[in-house]
Structure formats: structure tokens, C-alpha cells
Copies of this chain bind each other. A is one copy, B any other.
Amino acid sequence: MIGPVSPFAPETSPVMPEIPGVRLATVEAGIKYQGRRDLLLAVFEPGTVAAGVLTQSKTRSAAVDWCAEQLKHGRARALVVNSGNANAFTGKRGAEAVRITAEAAAQAVGCQPEEVYIASTGVIGEPLETGKFAHLLENLAKGASSTAWLEAAEAIMTTDTYPKLAARSAHALPVAGIAKGSGMIAPDMATMLGFHFTDAKIDRSLLQQAVLSNAQDTYNRITVDSDTSTSDTVIVFATGNASNRGIAPLKSAETPEFADFATTLGDNMRDLAQQIVKDGEGLTKFVTVAVYGAETDHAARRIAFAIANSPLVKTAIAGEDPNWGRVIMAIGKSGEAVDRDRVAIHFGEHLVAQQGERDPHYDEAAAATYMKAPQIEISVDVGVGTGQDHVWTCDLTHRYISINADYRS
């Protein structure tokens, strides 16, 4: 089903840089969708390294299995992504489809199958027919260009209502990324993919370090509906071509150059992570939940997710209701240490509760007005320590139900 576009869809696409060593191509393969791009091939020059993080799901897809294996060495020459079929829970045939795809891409690009990274997003449990697209990879490789970013972001969409792109640079090192997430045409599950590209010359393990530390603060802080995908994949590709431009390799985690690069990569990841939430199924509000005063940062994050994933909190936000009693409830159910009689809650600048009860100066009308804004911040002090963290989420609306219940896959 196609519905209204997210209220947070950007009015214009960002200007994307060329990343030396990266070329992109897309095509309408008709894997499931008709009349739209559904296959992406990214080609990388020799010397490219990859680092990434994958879903923690115990029922992860065949493509994720494959990427986990290849990320051990991190050599990368190609990325193949299809939308419409997740190739998850497809047994031996699923693993076979991945192998066939890797071999076809390797032949098209001129590399080893093990240097091909693969991601699939869409319906679960349907066999992925490689016959529909493997033969297209050769032409894609020939026609790949360094500027097809928008098409690449479009090709990996499922029920996303807008393509997700972001670019930044650290000194002379460009970082570009594309992502998809939060929608389903054949109702299935929110699947999150993020790919970032740079021409930094960087060791694989150092790149992995930058990815891991940033994933915690970006993609791992978002939730639309608490349902973890079988296919979540974030991979960063670094071509190393920056050396040709006279830019020094990133050799040590201790250098300011690496620190700047890692920060820029993190900003790029956070940008796309937030874009995914801002395209959350059926959303009308983007919500930041910040927790302070917890026993540890980890405890703060668990409390923040308990609030962000509570159906009652999310429906209250959809109803523009400053229903802080539900926030109290969610804090309580997190299981983490809180001092009930020292809890304080703000909605934006509005102090609604403190010292274990409603603030005497609380102004319900003012808080209700605040709740009409498209972006809401809920901050909570649980009064036991110095741990803090925050997560991003969206509201839970009738449209979420419509997208996931009213239409059959």
C-alpha cells in the first residue's frame, strides 16, 4: 500500500559528494515490486575495506549470515541490495540464493565472491529467486556511476515514504550514506539497512572500531515499534582512494584525524538513524526520550527504551495528551533502580512531576499545547545516580494499525 508521505520527509534531497572509488547502479528487476527500482549494485575499487554491525536476531537472514562471514576479513569490492524479499527463514535455498548472487556480482565486477556484501529487505519466508536479477548485475557494473545516490537510496526502500541520504566530510574526507527503514508494502517487519561510504585510507579494524562505537549512539538508539528485524545491517565501506588525493591514511585511534573522521561518521549514522524514525510507520511525531539520574548509562538506556516502546506512552503522544502517568508506569516496568519519590519528568520545558508527585505549578493547558508540536522531548530524572542516555522514537497511530493489519501481504 502507498499512503501519505511522512510529515518529516525532507523537501529536497541533500547534495551528495562523489566518493572516489565508489560507483552505483540500480535497476527495476521486478523481484516483487513493479515499476520501481529494487536492485542496487555498488562497486568498489580494489583496496576497499568494510566494517559493520548486524542484527542480533536469533533468526537472522541468509544475507546477514553471509555478511557476518565476510566482515571477518573486511575486503570489499561490491555491495548488492535487493528490496521486496528479505530472504529470511528460507533455509538452504536462502543460503544458496546468497551464494549465487555473490558469484554473479563477483563475475560482473571481477573479484572474489567473498568480496561481495549482500543485503535483502522485504517479505520474510518467501524464496528469493535469483533468476530474476543475477543476470542483470553485469550490465549494472558496466553502467555504474559515482553520482547515482538518489537512485541507490530509492532502490533499497520498501514502504519507506522517502529516500534517506546524508553526507558530511571530516576535513577532506567525505562520508556519504544511504539507509532505509520502517515501512512495508507487503506487510512484514520494519527492516533497517544503512550503508556508509568514504574514501578514507583506513585499516579494517580501526574502521570497525569507529563503526562499533558510533552504532551504539546512533542506530542502536532508535525504535519504531520494538520489533527487531531479521535483516538489520549497517556496513561502512572505505575505498582508501583518499591516498591518491594526498590525504594521509588514518593509522591510529589516538590521532585527531581519526577522532574527526569517527565523529563525522557518527554524525552521518545518526542523521540516517533519525531519518528512519522520522519515516516510522504511520508516525505523526518524532520523540526524544532522555533519562538522567539512573544507576548507570546502561540502566538509563533501558528505562528510555521502556518509555519509548510503551504502547500507552506512544498512543498518548499520538493523541497529543501530556499523559505523564504513563511515563511513570513505563519507568516502573523497566526493572531498573529508580527512586519513585524523587522522580522528575519534563515534557519539553514543562516540569510536570517531581519529588514523587505532580508538580504543584504544573500547567496542564501549557503542556497540552506543547504536545501539539511535531517534535516532542520527554526527559526523566529517576533520582538514583548519574547514569544518562537517550533514544529516539515516534508515536503509535491508527495508520500503524492500518499499514500492518488492514492490508494483506
Contact = CB atoms under 8 A, between A and B. Distances in A.
A230 to B, nearest CB: 6
Interface stretch (A3-11, A195-203, A264-272, A324-332): A324-332
Given A125-B358, A316-B404, 10 more contacts: A58-B335, A58-B340, A89-B328, A91-B357, A92-B356, A124-B329, A189-B312, A230-B328, A316-B405, A400-B401
Nearest to A401: B398
A329 B226 contact: no
A331 B59 contact: yes
Interface centre among A127, A188, A324, A337 (most CB of B within 10 A): A188
A86 B325 CA distance: 10
Interface string A307-318: 001111001101
A341 B333 CA distance: 34
Contacts of A227: 310-312, 326, 329-330, 333
A400 B383 CA distance: 33
Interface in A247-302: none
Closest 9 CB pairs of A and B: A124-B325, A59-B332, A91-B357, A57-B332, A319-B405, A228-B333, A315-B404, A315-B405, A91-B356
Interface string A224-251: 0111111000000000000000000000
A384 to B, nearest CB: 10
Interface centre among A59, A230, A318, A407 (most CB of B within 10 A): A59
Nearest to A57: B332
A229 B91 CA distance: 41
Nearest to A339: B58
Contacts of A94: 357
A112 B291 CA distance: 42
Interface residues of A, number: 73
A396 to B, nearest CB: 7
Contact of A336 (B58, B325, B330): B58
A179 B226 CA distance: 30
A26 interface: no
Interface string A355-379: 1111000000000000000000000
Given A311-B225, A404-B311, A353 B89 contact: yes
Interface of A: 55-60, 86, 88-94, 123-127, 187-190, 225-230, 309-312, 315-316, 318-319, 321, 323-326, 328-338, 340-341, 343, 353, 355-358, 396-398, 400-402, 404-409
Contacts of A397: 401, 405
Contact of A188 (B89, B323, B335, B337): B323
Given A58-B336, A340-B89, A228 B188 contact: no
Interface centre among A56, A90, A189, A330 (most CB of B within 10 A): A189
Nearest to A398: B401
A312 B356 CA distance: 35
6 contacts: A55-B332, A58-B331, A125-B328, A187-B321, A189-B325, A226-B311
Contacts of A225: 311-312
A57 B335 CA distance: 7
Contact of A337 (B58, B127, B189, B316): B58
A308 to B, nearest CB: 13
A91 B353 CA distance: 11
Contacts of A312: 188-190, 225, 227, 404
A349 to B, nearest CB: 19
Contacts of A408: 319, 321
Contacts of A396: 311, 401, 405
B341 A91 contact: yes
Contacts of A398: 398, 401-402, 405
